[in-house]
């Protein structure tokens, strides 16, 4: 990535655009604000923070896992949309950053990202022409995306007619009831043949997303995921003669943050030569205190798991009934699609107990906790992918467990 562009983020002026930033910091640059050694007490609520130690731990843990397993990692950047975090993932050994749509690709290119895997089809003619121009202008830029129909191949080829550089594609295999992707291996082979015959496209691998097929770690779910991955491996075997001869790497790519161990077990043995098995896990970096805490392969395997790096900090603003407290953060601030926030502690008093039973846009309903108006409650969050998008600037604490956590960084996001 462009280190100068990343470094320039420290010169951004803080103001009213960033809801995590107190008014007293307005007018300062990020660097100037951090030089003042701010603490959590200087910030208002509602607030979401990252824990520096947990992020460091998660980066190292995933890098070590992939190295031992002999697989690559192209983490899904859509989780954070934070270029400074993408750079840390690349520095830890990631081979590329995965993104989900064209606007995200443009963010990546704005920060000089040179290895992008788009886990989606790209059919927008104007977007394809822009992409071809980027590839032609930067010989070090590597890009690949997915296709799952002959029609999508035809549309891409039409848009790229006369383009100065070809676009690499992986054929996506799906499954009945899943998301996108060819529904049978035979259909996928037909799409691959269309790619091989098309001008402006190069077939460089097979792809898929097993996470759409299951939502827990039951025996039946794990069997469904394994069966799908075996079909993805079978597809790869059938395409050996169709892969583009000039491709640097042939990718077999799957693996979100819930079942990447099964990907390694089923597809890992296929790696070798120019064939790379590449995971796309993204949520591991922040992990959570909900969905991924329960389903992560490292938690299920009994080894050294990831640590939750995301925390919400909410203030009690009302106790209108016995046993009920209203906190000042809601759906506009916190994730709620994979479980409600988890009360963890009352600042200055230890564990808080109770349960958050509902969220409104700007309020959380905390029941059964011994709290007073004005107390600040730390909550754990579930599903990091729907937290980062709510915060354009995230304070990073040295430790969320410290008596007085220090703010050691501010992470900029671009959604």
Q: What are residue 398's DSSP bridge partners?
A: none
Residue 78's CB is within 10 A of a number of other CB atoms, namely 19
Per-residue pLDDT at 275: 98
What tens digit of pLDDT does each residue of 115-165 get? 999 999 999 999 999 999 999 999 999 999 999 999 999 999 999 999 999
- Among candidates 376, 363, 375, 366, which has minimal Cα distance to 325? 366
**128 and 26 co-located in one domain:** no
User: What is the Cα–Cα distance from 122 to 146, expressed in whole angstroms?
Assistant: 7
Per-residue pLDDT at 302: 63
User: 335, 349 in Cβ contact below 8 A?
Assistant: no
**112 and 74 co-located in one domain:** yes
**207 and 338 co-located in one domain:** no
**118 and 252 co-located in one domain:** yes
- Among candidates 258, 180, 257, which has minimal Cα distance to 218? 258
User: What is the Cα–Cα distance from 329 to 57, expressed in whole angstroms?
Assistant: 28
User: What is the Cα–Cα distance from 371 to 356, expressed in whole angstroms?
Assistant: 13
Per-residue pLDDT at 280: 98
Read off the pTM. 0.96
**37 and 103 co-located in one domain:** no
**215 and 138 co-located in one domain:** yes
**166 and 282 co-located in one domain:** yes
Instruction: Beginning with the edge strand found earlier in the chain, give each strand of the sheet holding 97-99 in spatial order.
Output: 72-73, 275-279, 250-253, 201-207, 167-172, 142-147, 115-118, 97-99
3-class SS of residue 222: helix
User: What is the Cα–Cα distance from 53 to 64, expressed in whole angstroms?
Assistant: 17
User: What is the Cα–Cα distance from 250 to 240, expressed in whole angstroms?
Assistant: 10
User: What is the Cα–Cα distance from 382 to 360, expressed in whole angstroms?
Assistant: 17
Number of structural domains, the chain? 2
Residue 299 located in a structural domain: no
**133 and 36 co-located in one domain:** no
User: What is the Cα–Cα distance from 395 to 408, expressed in whole angstroms?
Assistant: 8
Q: What are phi and psi of 157, to 5 degrees?
A: -60, -40
Residue after which a domain boundary falls, among 227, 256, 290: 290
Per-residue pLDDT at 299: 85
Q: What are residue 324's DSSP bridge partners?
A: 321, 367
Distance of CA 393 to the CA centre of its chain: 16
Q: Percentage of residues in the chain with pLDDT exceeding 90?
A: 98
Per-residue pLDDT at 301: 67
- Dump the DSSP string for 29-41: BHHHHHHT--BGG
| Residue ranges with strand state E in 222-309 | 250-253, 275-279
**106 and 25 co-located in one domain:** no
Structural domain span for residue 340:
3-51+306-412
Residue 21 located in a structural domain: yes
Q: Provide mean pLDDT across the span 278-302.
A: 92
Mean pLDDT for the chain overall: 97
Per-residue pLDDT at 303: 63
Q: Would you call 348 exposed, middle or buried from its count of C-beta atoms within 10 A (0-12, 13-18, 19+)?
A: exposed
What tens digit of pLDDT does each residue of 102-128 get? 999 999 999 999 999 999 999 999 999
Residue 301 located in a structural domain: no
What tens digit of pLDDT does each residue of 43-71 get? 999 999 999 999 999 999 999 999 999 99
**326 and 240 co-located in one domain:** no
**279 and 192 co-located in one domain:** yes
Determine the longest span between alpha carbons in the chain, in angstroms: 71
CATH number at residue 146: 3.20.20.10
**191 and 244 co-located in one domain:** yes
207 confidence band (pLDDT: 50, 70, 90): very high
Residue 300 located in a structural domain: no
């Amino acid at each position: 990535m462009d280190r100068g562009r990343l470094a320039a983020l420290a010169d951004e002026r803080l103001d009213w655009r960033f809801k995590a930033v107190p008014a007293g910091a307005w007018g300062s640059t990020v660097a100037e604000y951090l030089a003042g050694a701010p603490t959590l007490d200087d910030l208002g609520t509602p607030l979401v923070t990252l824990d520096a130690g947990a992020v460091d731990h998660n980066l190292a843990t995933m890098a070590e896992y992939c190295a031992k397993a002999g697989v690559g990692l192209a983490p899904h950047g859509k989780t954070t949309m934070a270029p400074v975090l993408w750079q840390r993932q690349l520095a830890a050994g990631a081979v590329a950053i995965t993104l989900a749509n064209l606007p995200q690709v443009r963010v990546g290119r704005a920060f000089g990202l040179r290895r992008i895997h788009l886990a989606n089809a790209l059919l927008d003619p104007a977007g394809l022409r822009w992409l071809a121009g980027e590839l032609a202008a930067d010989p070090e830029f590597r890009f690949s995306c997915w296709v799952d129909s002959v029609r999508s191949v035809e549309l891409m080829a039409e848009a790229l007619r006369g383009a100065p550089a070809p676009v690499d594609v992986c054929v996506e295999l799906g499954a009945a009831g899943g998301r996108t992707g060819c529904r049978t291996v035979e259909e996928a082979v037909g799409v691959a043949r269309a790619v091989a015959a098309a001008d402006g496209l190069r077939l460089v691998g097979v792809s898929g997303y097993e996470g759409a097929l299951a939502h827990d770690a039951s025996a039946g779910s794990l069997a469904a995921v394994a069966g799908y991955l075996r079909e993805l491996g079978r597809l790869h075997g059938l395409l050996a003669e169709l892969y583009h001869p000039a491709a640097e790497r042939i990718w077999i790519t799957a693996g979100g943050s819930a079942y990447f161990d099964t990907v390694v077990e089923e597809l890992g043995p296929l790696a070798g030569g120019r064939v790379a098995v590449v995971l796309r896990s993204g949520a591991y970096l922040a992990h959570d205190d909900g969905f991924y805490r329960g389903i992560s392969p490292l938690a299920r395997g009994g080894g050294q798991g990831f640590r939750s790096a995301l925390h919400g900090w909410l203030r009690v603003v009302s106790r209108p009934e016995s046993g009920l407290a209203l906190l000042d953060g809601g759906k506009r601030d916190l994730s709620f699609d994979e479980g409600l926030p988890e009360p963890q502690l009352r600042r200055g008093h230890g564990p808080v107990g109770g349960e958050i039973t509902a969220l409104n846009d700007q309020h959380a309903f905390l029941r059964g906790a011994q709290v007073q108006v004005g107390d600040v409650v730390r909550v754990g969050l579930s599903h990091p992918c729907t937290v980062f998008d709510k915060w354009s600037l995230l304070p990073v604490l040295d430790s969320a467990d410290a008596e007085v956590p220090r703010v050691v960084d501010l992470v900029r996001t671009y959604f």
